[in-house]
Structure 1
Amino acid sequence: MENMHILFWLIKDISWCMVWKPLGLLMILPTLGIAVVICWRTRTIKSELAHNLAIVFWITANSYWMISEFMGFDTLLIGHTIEGKHLAIVPFLIGLLILAYYYLVQKPREENQEQVSTL
């Protein structure tokens, strides 16, 4: 399933690069859908879940950015200097925050628990 996920992701991004709008938009669903399924399957392994959730948010941000370009609102000003494509920063940051939490909080806890259990 992970290999198929990569194939769909590559097709989506190639479609974006080549401005093949229908195929690019169509590939969002299987790419994101498989990423969510992978998260569900790894939900009991905290390290895997954190990284797979970050991927879900990465694909979400990436897909939003592609849509903004395809639909022509990527350069539309939303604020003083914020363009439509800049809203992709929200899911990118969510993914980054998930990984930051894992590496700064969860992983040290796990390592501490391992040290305590070996004593």
Structure 2
Amino acid sequence: MENLHILFWLLKDLAWCMIWKPLALLMIGPTLGIALLITWRTRTIKAELAHNLAIVFWISANSYWMISEFFDFDTMRVWGSLTGKHMALLPFLTGLLILAYYYLVQKPREARTEAAVGA
């Protein structure tokens, strides 16, 4: 399933690059859908959950950015100097925050627990 996910993601981004709007827009569903399914299936493994959630937010941000370009609101000012394209920062940063929490809080906590159990 993960390999199929990569195929869909590459097709989406290739279609974006080539400005094949119908294919690019169509590929959002399967790309994001499989990412969500993989995330759900690995939800009990904290490391996998964090990374797969980050991927879901990355695909969401990437898809939003693509849509903003296709429908010409990528350069529209939204607030101050921020444009429509900059709104993709919200899911990108959400993914980064999830990974930051995992590496700065969750993983050290797991290491301490393992060390205590092993002692």
The aligned counterpart of 1:2 is 2
Counterparts of 1:97 and 1:43, CA distance in 2: 17
Secondary structure of the residue aligned to 1:74 is coil
1:64 Cα deviation from its structure 2 partner: 0.1
Task: After the TM superposition, list the runs of 4 or more consecutive aligned residues in structure 1 that deviate by more than 6 angstroms.
Answer: none
With structure 2 as the length reference, what TM-score do the two structures score? 0.99
Unmatched 5+ stretches in structure 2:
none
Map Cα deviations across residues 16-57 of structure 1 (whole Å, 9 max, x no partner). 000000000000000000000000010000000100000000
Secondary structure of the residue aligned to 1:43 is coil
More strand by share: 2
Aligned residue-pair number: 119
1:72 Cα deviation from its structure 2 partner: 0.5
Counterparts of 1:78 and 1:52, CA distance in 2: 30
Unmatched 5+ stretches in structure 1:
none
Identity %: 71
Q: Do residues 47 (structure 1) and 47 (structure 2) align?
A: yes
Secondary structure of the residue aligned to 1:78 is strand
With structure 1 as the length reference, what TM-score do the two structures score? 0.99
The aligned counterpart of 1:62 is 62
Counterparts of 1:80 and 1:98, CA distance in 2: 27
